């Protein structure tokens, strides 16, 4: 994971136009910690699983992505099978305007009532095809939740996710950070589980 964070730090450095001089070792360490905190410890990003995990997976997803819908059930299954694993959700609304709306609603609900997030996540992921405003409202109704308006922080969280994903070379969803590796796309659960198990062994 340290290798990934160092790579991200180097990639993000060019956008720091205010930094006229190379970063000092102390600045590099602080910047690396900021990236790690956003990926693994951001309180505005939904998470499930272990409270003090041995391994934290970061899943980049989109509510209009068919393979994300197929992959999503694996996430609860993996934390049930591995009690020392946590999963963090990062939304990349690549597909349409409704991808952004659904993601902002989900993030806002997480901030308002974290215990209700997975209910809405399930109903949003259950929709076949693309969402529209009506289907997002229907998903909230089926989940028994209500998000009157997405908050500003939800948009900032998505913007940060998009920046980090771009610098990581992520061009589609789902994409999952597992230990030192990045899994692009969907794989059968058995393969996903094997990758998680291998990453745990290296912890």
In this structure, which CATH number among 3.40.630.30, 3.30.70.1380, 3.40.30.10, 2.30.40.10 belongs to the domain 2-16+53-201?
Answer: 3.40.30.10
**Residue 21 has what pLDDT?**
59
Q: Which residue has the higher pLDDT, 133 or 5?
A: 133
**Residue 148 has what pLDDT?**
82
**Residue 199 has what pLDDT?**
96
| CA-to-CA dists, residue 161 to 39, 42, 107, 141, 167, angstroms | 8, 11, 12, 27, 10
| CA-to-CA dists, residue 73 to 27, 44, 69, 85, angstroms | 39, 22, 8, 15
**Residue 201 has what pLDDT?**
94
Residue pLDDT, tens place only, 54-88: 999 999 999 999 999 999 999 999 999 999 999 99
* pTM beyond cutoff 0.85: yes
Q: What is the DSSP string of 78-129?
A: HHHH-TTEEEEEEE---S-HHHHHHHHHHHHHHHH-GGGHHHHHHHHHH--S
């Amino acid at each position: 994971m340290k290798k990934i964070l160092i790579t991200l730090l180097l990639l993000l450095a060019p956008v720091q136009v205010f930094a006229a001089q190379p970063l000092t070792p102390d600045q590099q360490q602080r910047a690396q910690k900021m990236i790690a905190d956003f990926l693994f410890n951001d309180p505005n990003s939904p998470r499930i699983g272990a409270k003090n995990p041995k391994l934290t997976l970061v899943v980049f997803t989109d509510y209009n992505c068919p393979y994300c819908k197929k992959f999503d059930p694996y996430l609860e299954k993996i934390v049930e099978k591995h009690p020392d694993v946590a999963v963090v959700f990062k939304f990349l609304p690549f597909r349409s305007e409704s991808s952004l709306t659904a993601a902002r609603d989900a993030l806002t609900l997480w901030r308002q009532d974290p215990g209700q997030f997975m209910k809405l996540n399930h109903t949003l992921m259950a929709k076949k095809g693309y969402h529209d405003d009506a289907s997002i409202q229907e998903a909230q109704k089926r989940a028994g939740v209500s998000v009157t308006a997405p908050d500003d922080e939800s948009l900032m969280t998505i913007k940060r996710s998009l920046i980090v994903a771009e610098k990581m070379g992520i061009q589609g969803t789902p994409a999952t950070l597992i230990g030192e590796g990045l899994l692009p796309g969907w794989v059968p659960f058995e393969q996903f589980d094997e990758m998680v198990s291998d990453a745990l062994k290296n912890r």
